[in-house]
Structure 1
């Protein structure tokens, strides 16, 4: 029994000694932490690798870090942002600004005067053609014209005799029929020759053209040359394609769900691949009334206001139709980060530490977002702000990653 009591007394003494040592170590550890925290503040750095303060859900940067990451801070500005409807399509020209150049008679190409890309004026020679059929058409016309002159004299003579009841009615009818038939033939020849651009007056003087000029029907540029020297071309075959891009416009498709939002007079902002660094503007001047089934959409046409750079028919267009304007609080897109269903921005505050060095404090704040326009987002505040509150205007993804790293360290 005495032995047991001695053992219990010894164990009790040891317990008191261990407790005293533990308290002493704990006090030393606490003192060390406080000293280390003060030292970090004096340096303007955070506890975790010089980036964060021990306070949860806050990111601290020294001025050096702030400058290194080129963080920008400012108050939320009011900006005129527009709601919009996305619309894609292509650049086109009106039908009257495109021409397919043909000839009305089969012939051989004897010269080509232009190449693709050449600027041409209305009436400018594009090519020359020649063929025996062309010469035959002209000689047939000359013969018919001379025959008509003879028949006209005979017709006038027979008509006078018939009216004076001297000549035979039957003879007058025959002369009249021959005259009118030949006159119709001459008119037909003249119509064909005019289509070929030949001078009727010179043909009446028996001047025959060995070659016929193929000319441009509009001002514009040669988009395509479809023939080569010596080639025989059939009537109505396209020899050249000419396009006038003075009235090039955006032909856009608007899907069924957005049709009610668009109307004439609305502005369109769009870009093309050849001018991807700049945004062009247009105004809707026509909204289609025909609904297409595949895709379920309508066409609309917008006149381009600032025709800069290389704009050619057929180029793909990515556009936004501006539907409503409003002055709203806004922030750059790069200052907002999405976390699940939440949109986060960072408020920014600067204060001095014990060493009188600047320290930046970034606090995450949930906001609601609205209209997006030209790299800016409308923001709707969930909680009130103090007057003059500043925000990080860029690098939101870097700030959120630093915040997550700090939270992960605290969880350990």
Structure 2
């Protein structure tokens, strides 16, 4: 006869109880771990992402300290870069002549009074000959005038001869002065001509310092008087010339800050301050000119470049960062502080609240104030967040 063994019911209950307690403890541990992870992420403690030097360079990371930015309302305005009229110059020929040589090309930097070309023509030689003859004749008439003056004062010559000598000398002096002025316009050395030197060619000189923007002639070309031959632009005084539409005119005034970008350099922001607001409307489109002096001139800013700008309505600044520097995880936002450790970089998340948005910039407030001069990642925030979460997942296993 077989014997059947029964497990006491009390023992079965004890096994089930122990199993249930073990499961409960595991679930509780997971809850605690999740809460700790979330707490660490919000405080920025015990969480970091490490990038090697190679990863840092491959991602083209941008690191900087916090910046203050005006996040108030703004007026959108487009325009172009310009220079004041006194910083532009057109070089012309004062008389018809042939271009003997050209000394510069477009883009060259020139100093004030630097020679840009040489001209030659028989009329230029003729005026030097006329001056030399007039100068020599004037010297003779001066001697005659002084002789007649002495005779007249001594009472041995008539007043008529003295008056005639005086008139002839004054007329010759006027002619010499007139021809001398023309020679100076040609940039001809007057003293050299007086000594008998006749210059075959004359220099064209730049009236200002700047860059050659246009060369309108060729070697050997005959140019008419007052023809524009060269254009020189002094780019040191380049400024933003914006067009503000009629509906926004009352929002714009002198002293306001302008932030703008140049199409040829996407991502680079320039800052300017309005120093002049136009008082007359352009008709197409109906807008006024607003001129702003650029504060952070970087690179080659060329007049005529198209710009897109925002004129700040109020001067209230707040801490702000680019949108690419902020990562959103659920209902929370984070930025990453950055610290160099040898050749590698360490990035630690810090929770922030976000505010107004201005273009690609967003106002932020920290839950925990960072130390002064702390550096932050200005881009790739979502990549850093993904790497950190991936590290957490690997660690949990």
When normalised by structure 2's length, the TM-score is 0.64
SS of match in other structure, 1:241:
strand
The residue aligned with 1:296 is 286
Once residues 180 and 272 of structure 1 are traced to their aligned partners in structure 2, the CA distance between those partners, rounded to angstroms, is 62
Once residues 332 and 132 of structure 2 are traced to their aligned partners in structure 1, the CA distance between those partners, rounded to angstroms, is 93
How big is the shift at 1:112? Answer: 0.8
1:221-245 deviations in Å (ceiling 9; x for gaps): 1111111111111121111111110
Matched, 1:311 2:301: yes
| Paired residues of 1:271 and 1:279 also in contact (CA < 8 A) | yes
Aligned residues: 281
Matched, 1:238 2:223: no
The residue aligned with 2:359 is 374
Matched, 1:144 2:129: no
The residue aligned with 1:5 is none
Once residues 173 and 316 of structure 1 are traced to their aligned partners in structure 2, the CA distance between those partners, rounded to angstroms, is 68
Matched, 1:125 2:92: no
The residue aligned with 2:161 is 171
Equivalent position to 1:96, from 75, 83, 86? 86
How big is the shift at 1:109? Answer: 0.7
Once residues 170 and 378 of structure 1 are traced to their aligned partners in structure 2, the CA distance between those partners, rounded to angstroms, is 93
SS of match in other structure, 1:230:
coil
How big is the shift at 1:246? Answer: 0.6
Once residues 196 and 297 of structure 2 are traced to their aligned partners in structure 1, the CA distance between those partners, rounded to angstroms, is 51
| Paired residues of 1:274 and 1:310 also in contact (CA < 8 A) | no
The residue aligned with 2:100 is 110
How big is the shift at 1:162? Answer: 2.4
| Gap regions ≥5 residues in structure 2 | 1-67, 325-329, 334-353, 369-380, 383-397
Q: Say if 1:348 and 1:172 are closer, same or farther in 2 by CA, change over 3 A.
A: closer
The residue correspondences of 1:117-266 to structure 2 (distance < 5 A) are: 117-266=107-256
* Greater Rg over alpha carbons, structure: 1
Q: Say if 1:107 and 1:87 are closer, same or farther in 2 by CA, change over 3 A.
A: same
How big is the shift at 1:124? Answer: 1.4
Once residues 185 and 330 of structure 1 are traced to their aligned partners in structure 2, the CA distance between those partners, rounded to angstroms, is 72
1:140-187 deviations in Å (ceiling 9; x for gaps): 100000000000111111122223333112222222221111111111
Once residues 212 and 105 of structure 1 are traced to their aligned partners in structure 2, the CA distance between those partners, rounded to angstroms, is 12
The residue correspondences of 1:303-382 to structure 2 (distance < 5 A) are: 303-326=293-316, 347=331, 372-376=357-361
Once residues 94 and 305 of structure 2 are traced to their aligned partners in structure 1, the CA distance between those partners, rounded to angstroms, is 32
SS of match in other structure, 1:239:
strand
| Paired residues of 1:83 and 1:325 also in contact (CA < 8 A) | no
Once residues 169 and 348 of structure 1 are traced to their aligned partners in structure 2, the CA distance between those partners, rounded to angstroms, is 108
Matched, 1:86 2:76: yes
How big is the shift at 1:371? Answer: 5.6
How big is the shift at 1:201? Answer: 1.2
| Paired residues of 1:162 and 1:172 also in contact (CA < 8 A) | yes
